[in-house]
Amino acid sequence: MSEERQIQLEVLRYNPETDLEPRFQTYSVPCVNEWVVLDALNYVKENLDPTLSYRWSCHMAVCGSCGYMINGEPKLGCKAFIHEYGDHIRVEPLAHFPIERDLVTVVEDFITKFSSVKPYLIPKEDKPISAGEFKQTPAQLMKFKQYTLCINCMLCYAACPQYGLVPEFLGPAAISMAHRYNQDSRDGGRDQRQEVIASHEGVWECSFVGACSEVCPKHVDPAGALQQVKVASTIDWYKEHLMPWSKK
Burial class (CB in 10 A: 0-12, 13-18, 19+), 103: buried
Can you name the residues that pair with 90 across neighbouring β-strands? 10
Residue 65's CB: how many other CB atoms inside 10 A?
20
Pick between residue 84 and residue 201 the one whose CB is nearest to other proteins: 201
Of 36, 37, 155, 198, the one binding other proteins by CB under 8 A: 198
CA 173/CA 161 separation, integer angstroms: 14
Stretch that binds other proteins, among 80-88, 103-111, 139-147, 230-238 (CB under 8 A): 230-238
Name the minimum Å distance from CB 160 to other proteins. Answer: 12
Residues with Cβ within 8 Å of 12's Cβ and at least 6 positions away in sequence, in order, are: 22, 23, 24, 91, 92, 93, 99, 102, 103
Q: Is 238 in the site for other proteins (CB under 8 A)?
A: yes
**Binding mask of the shown chain, residues 151 to 170, with x at each position contacting other proteins by CB under 8 A:** ----------x---x-----
CA 48/CA 26 separation, integer angstroms: 11
Can you name the residues that pair with 69 across neighbouring β-strands? 74, 92
Name the minimum Å distance from CB 116 to other proteins. Answer: 9
Name the minimum Å distance from CB 234 to other proteins. Answer: 4
Q: Is 233 in the site for other proteins (CB under 8 A)?
A: yes
CA 40/CA 24 separation, integer angstroms: 16
Q: Is 200 in the site for other proteins (CB under 8 A)?
A: yes
Of residues 61-100, those binding other proteins (CB under 8 A) = none
Name the minimum Å distance from CB 202 to other proteins. Answer: 7
| Contact positions vs other proteins (CB under 8 A) | 161, 165, 194-196, 198-202, 204, 207, 230-231, 233-234, 236-238
